[in-house]
């Protein structure tokens, strides 16, 4: 769960700071911030964790945005940080 938690924390902390972000910006930022010390391809893990957080209802994709935009869906999940 180390890589999962690393990416989950990164996504949620980024969304707390920025409120919402395009997936492209999130992807590029994850590579910039995490890749130097991350074992494996951070982008692949980012996609997987983002989809899991969407499925769990923690974050959501904003409809009709391209590139798609994500934000925190439920404020109660902020306590996870």
Question: pLDDT tens, 1-31?
Answer: 699 999 999 999 999 999 999 999 999 999 9
Q: Give the model's pLDDT for residue 73.
A: 87
Domains of the chain, earliest start first = 2-80 (1.10.10.10)
- Whole-structure pTM value: 0.87
**Residue given tokens 């409120």 in the structure block:** 19
Question: pLDDT tens, 33-56?
Answer: 999 999 999 999 999 999 999 999
78 confidence band (pLDDT: 50, 70, 90): low
Strand extents, DSSP E, the chain: 20-22, 59-62, 69-72
User: What are the Cα distances from residue 36, in Å, to 1, 19, 39, 71?
Assistant: 19, 25, 9, 25
Rounded distance between C-alpha atoms, residue 81 and residue 48, angstroms: 19
């Amino acid at each position: 769960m180390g890589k999962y938690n690393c990416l989950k924390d990164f996504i949620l902390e980024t969304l707390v700071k920025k409120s919402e972000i395009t997936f492209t910006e999130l992807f590029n930022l994850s590579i910039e911030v995490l890749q130097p010390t991350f074992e494996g391809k951070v982008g692949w893990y980012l996609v997987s964790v983002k989809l899991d957080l969407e499925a769990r209802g923690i974050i959501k994709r904003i409809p009709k945005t391209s590139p798609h935009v994500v934000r925190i869906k439920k404020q109660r999940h902020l306590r996870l940080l």
